[in-house]
């Protein structure tokens, strides 16, 4: 009787885990729709002057031209809030050696200045 109860619980949890809401899916890797058609233009031709652009332009990424597309993708694979998986390709050593567990890069290096929070 008791065993049956546990078995039911185990099966129930197993079923739950297969439902997307309860299983972990990496955020910021699934493509979403950009709010307006890009009409073949690049990101900067419309976003130049936005706060994100201004911060990006002054940052190391702007200087060295790590463009919007590198992290956000293009129209067909557009991601609104890129996950830190996009950072890995260029910053592998920081990715492997996170100073604190269970935090994201942008909790210390906010987009798009990517400066350290709290420091100038
Ligand atoms: C034709 C002009 C145009 C182009 C090209 C364009 N955008 Fe946008 N983008 C907009 C407008 C308009 C909005 C909505 C208003 C706003 O938030 O500024 C927007 C919103 C966004 C948002 C916020 C999304 C949301 O759902 O709130 C992101 C992120 C973004 N664009 C990134 C990009 C990136 C990356 C590119 C290049 C791959 C790009 N945009 C190309 C005009 C453009
Ligand atoms: C080095 C990677 C990187 C580059 C390059 C980059 N972004 Fe982002 N962007 C991010 C990340 C990460 C976030 C999510 C920030 C968050 O969740 O607080 C973000 C968020 C945004 C948002 C806010 C979306 C929302 O409503 O939550 C906009 C708009 C945006 N980016 C536009 C741009 C534009 C325009 C460019 C180029 C000038 C650009 N980004 C370049 C990484 C990048
Ligand atoms: C295409 C390669 C590339 C990607 C992708 C990339 N970066 Fe960078 N990043 C660079 C380069 C190159 C520099 C060095 C710029 C310099 O030395 O001035 C840099 C510099 C930085 C810095 C130092 C601050 C600064 O302004 O110089 C931080 C922090 C940083 N990146 C965080 C991130 C994070 C977080 C992501 C993911 C959201 C990311 N980067 C994605 C290439 C990249
Ligand atoms: C808990 C806060 C914290 C988190 C999370 C964090 N960083 Fe950093 N990061 C720092 C500090 C502090 C420095 C500057 C001091 C130093 O050199 O260690 C730094 C420096 C950097 C630099 C400049 C080069 C260097 O190594 O000094 C890069 C690039 C960078 N971080 C990328 C990343 C990326 C990519 C992630 C996510 C995978 C990340 N950081 C997560 C705190 C953090």
Q: Alpha helix locations (H) across the chain?
A: 2-18, 43-47, 51-58, 60-63, 68-72, 85-88, 92-96, 105-108
Token representation of residue 70 = 């590198």
Identify which has the larger pLDDT, 43 or 23: 43
- How many CB atoms neighbour CB 82 within 10 A? 19
Q: How many angstroms from the chain centroid is the CA of residue 18?
A: 23
pLDDT for 5: 64
pLDDT for residue 26: 54
What is d(CA 47, CA 51) in angstroms, rounded to the nearest whole number?
9
In angstroms, the CA 100 to CA 9 distance is 35
Per-residue model confidence (pLDDT) at position 9: 55
4 burial type by CB count under 10 A (0-12 exposed, 13-18 middle, 19+ buried):
exposed
Mean per-residue pLDDT, 33-54: 96
Ligand 4 midpoint to CA 78 (Å): 26
Both tokens assigned to 91 = 């910053």
Q: Is the CB of 94 under 6 A from ligand 4?
A: yes
* This prediction's pTM: 0.89
Using only C-alpha atoms, what is the Rg of the chain? 20
Residue 57 alpha carbon to ligand 1 centre in Å: 16
Ligand 2 center to residue 49 CA distance, Å? 14
Q: Taking 70 as the threshold, does the pLDDT of residue 86 lie above it?
A: yes
């Amino acid at each position: 009787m008791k065993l049956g109860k546990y078995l039911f619980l185990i099966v129930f949890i197993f079923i739950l885990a297969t439902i997307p809401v309860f299983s972990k899916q990496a955020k910021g890797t699934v493509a979403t729709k950009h709010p307006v058609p890009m009409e073949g233009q690049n990101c900067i031709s419309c976003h130049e002057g936005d706060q994100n652009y201004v911060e990006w332009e002054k940052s190391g990424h702007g200087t060295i031209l790590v463009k919007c597309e590198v992290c956000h993708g293009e129209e067909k694979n557009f991601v609104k809030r890129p996950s830190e998986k996009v950072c890995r390709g260029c910053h592998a050593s920081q990715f492997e050696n996170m100073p604190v567990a269970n935090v994201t890069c942008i909790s210390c290096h906010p987009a798009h200045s990517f400066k350290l929070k709290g420091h100038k």
